[in-house]
Amino acid sequence: MTANLMTTAKIPNTAEQDPTQKLNLHGRPERIVTVERITAETQVTCTVNLDGIGQGTVDTGVPFLDHMIDQIKRHGLFDLDIKCTGDTFIDDHHSVEDTGITLGQAFNKALGDKKGIRRYGHFYAPLDEALTRAVVDLSGRPGLHMDIPFTRSHVGTFDVDLFSEFFYGFVNHSWMTVHLDNLKGKNSHHQIESTFKAFARALRMACEYDERALNTLPSTKEAF
């Protein structure tokens, strides 16, 4: 007699343990959180839905950053509502960094126990002459490795040095390992935007559920 090797993963019925807990389409707790960060320099509120459709409103007080976070929202299919009120009359630095920190905290909290996720993601995104590769590991170990040879110091009024401040804030507070490499590019706007698009797609892949391993923590350590 031939054994039937087809199996179906049993999804834990979280509702039986907590009837008030809303579940997503995978039978897992909804991955929707709101985080607020208040300092003497900024006030940031961020709501994230990891299983969204790419909608929401982004207002950081820094228009170019809004445009880049819109890439994360649209290409990552994350619902994002972000409001930052900061001391941009001094400099954009605090608003950019604290937005990255708060968004990272929201992702870390929304990911929960990480059971069933793919964990790894990668993507190459072209934008005209620019080509960028992003690789993401939801490892529980923060690390940003970035190689972006910018061709100028500003895009409009946006200081390209702040680009790394956003990602350091995000990575250090989301506990991810992220590699960002601009492989080609002459236009700094294209370099940055292709990076955000590649990052969004790689992050989407890493956060998605693996239907073959919904009850499995993606680590041989069985911990993050």
Question: How many Cβ atoms are within 10 Å of 217's Cβ, its own excluded?
Answer: 16
- The token duo for 91 is 């400099």
**Euclidean distance between CA atoms 26 and 5, whole angstroms:** 22
Residue 170: both structure tokens together: 């995000």
- At residue 37 the predicted structure's pLDDT band, cuts being 50, 70 and 90, is very high
Confidence of residue 99 (pLDDT cuts 50, 70, 90): very high
The pTM of the full predicted model, rounded to 2 decimals, is 0.88
pLDDT at 10 over 50: no
The per-residue pLDDT for range 112-152, each reduced to its tens digit, is 999 999 999 999 999 999 999 999 999 999 999 999 999 99
Which pLDDT score, from 0 to 100, does residue 1 have? 41
Cα separation of 195 and 148, whole Å? 9
**pLDDT mean over 56-81:** 98
Q: What is the C-alpha separation between 53 and 60, in angstroms, rounded?
A: 21
Say yes or no to pLDDT of 76 above 70: yes
